Amino acid sequence: MPPGLLSGLEGQRVVVTAGAGGIGLATARLLHAQGCRVALCDVSTEALDAVAAELPGVTVASADVSDETEVARFFDIALEALGGLDGLVNNAGIAGPTGGVEEISVADWRRCLDIGLTGQFLCTRLAVPHLKAAGGGAIVNMSSSAGRHGYAYRTPYAAAKFGVIGFTQSLAKELGPSNIRVNAVLPGIVAGPRMEKVIRDRAAQVGVPYEEMETRYLEKVSLRRMVTAEDVAGSIAFLLSAAGRNLSAMSFNVDGNVETL
């Protein structure tokens, strides 16, 4: 997506969580190219250093979004650098465990929901006062195709992503009078190491080769292909831009139409 394609992004002050890899990094790159001022967090200091070197002017800080203290410290750093806030991209999440419900540990369940759902709450509660002070803005929450389909053997992940939809729709009603738009983006099968691990774990779970399991996944996608991190980033940028000024409480499937999981 060439710079200047979307209006209303230049000069926006945007926070992106888990912004040093995958969809988060693709989003940070696109927003930076569009003239946004970006602050991002991640748990990998090595990845953060790489982003700082690649994208001059982007503010980076280490933070685990499930940790209230770390989130507060990150927002202090971000707001000091940005001087305010116009947008929040709640991107952080983990794949969580693959297994039957009787096999999944309580710790793994909690960790998946703490990062994928509670982390969005912790970031949003700190962002909203600053969005209101700016006269409005936009929040984009990362859900998943798993947020609209039941997902056998991935129950913690699906529960978190369904929760994101409810969180998004509730916030849209609550924050709309303050001119704050809230939407969810639902990626499907996103090409990259994380999806490769999911497919590998599922293949091992049912005892088939990786290639066969990958084919099974893609047969459930109408377009018969994976999406890219850049595809998802483009949708996020659209929702932050002036083109999305009247869109709120929506769930945008960026998945080639995943028919079932």
In sequence order, what are the beta bridge partners of 62?
42
Which alpha helices (H) appear in the chain, and where do they start and end? 22-33, 45-54, 68-82, 106-113, 119-133, 155-175, 193-206, 210-219, 229-240
Which pLDDT score is estimated for 170? Answer: 98
Told to judge if 157 belongs to the known catalytic residues of this protein, a careful annotator would answer yes
- Rounded to whole angstroms, the Cα distance separating 261 from 256 reads 13
Q: What is the pTM of this model?
A: 0.94
Which pLDDT score is estimated for 95? Answer: 92
Which pLDDT score is estimated for 83? Answer: 98
Mean pLDDT, rounded, for 246-251: 98
Mean pLDDT, rounded, for 5-31: 95
Which pLDDT score is estimated for 6? Answer: 77
Question: Sorting pLDDT into bands at 50, 70 and 90, what band is 202?
Answer: confident
- CATH fold of 13-188+229-249 reads Rossmann fold (3.40.50)
24-50 residue pLDDT tens: 999 999 999 999 999 999 999 999 999
Please check the confidence at residue 109 and state whether its pLDDT lies above 60. Answer: yes
Domain residue spans of the chain: 13-188+229-249, 189-226
150-189 residue pLDDT tens: 899 999 999 999 999 999 999 999 999 999 999 999 999 9
Please check the confidence at residue 1 and state whether its pLDDT lies above 90. Answer: no
Tokens of 21: 């890899």
Please check the confidence at residue 5 and state whether its pLDDT lies above 80. Answer: no
